[in-house]
Amino acid sequence: MLTCLPQESAPVGDETVLELATAITPDFIELRRKIKAWTSAHPDDIDPHDNLHARYDELGGWQIEAKAKKVLAGLAFRERDFDGGA
């Protein structure tokens, strides 16, 4: 699947550059957002809800994210750009 990213640095919508780069299916996007929301709200807790991390891992989420970060770095994005940091 080919994902196109905007070439300008202005935000496209609510998605971060990393979300755009890893947007392979709606289910994958939703899992990633749920994991990120849980981690932000409960940084030291284990997520008890629906085995989100296990499902994300089954879909190859951690590998896809790592590959996307490598590609984005090759396109001159900085790590702080990946999740919308300033």
Tens digits of residue pLDDT in 12-21 = 567 778 888 8
Q: What is the Cα–Cα distance from 71 to 48, expressed in whole angstroms?
A: 32
Task: Give residue-wise pLDDT tens across range 56-74.
Answer: 888 888 898 889 889 988 9
- Count CB atoms within 10 A of the CB of residue 14: 8
The pLDDT value recorded for residue 48 is 64
Of 65 and 42, more confident: 65
Q: Is the full-model pTM beyond 0.75?
A: no
- Structural domain boundaries in the chain: 22-41+51-81
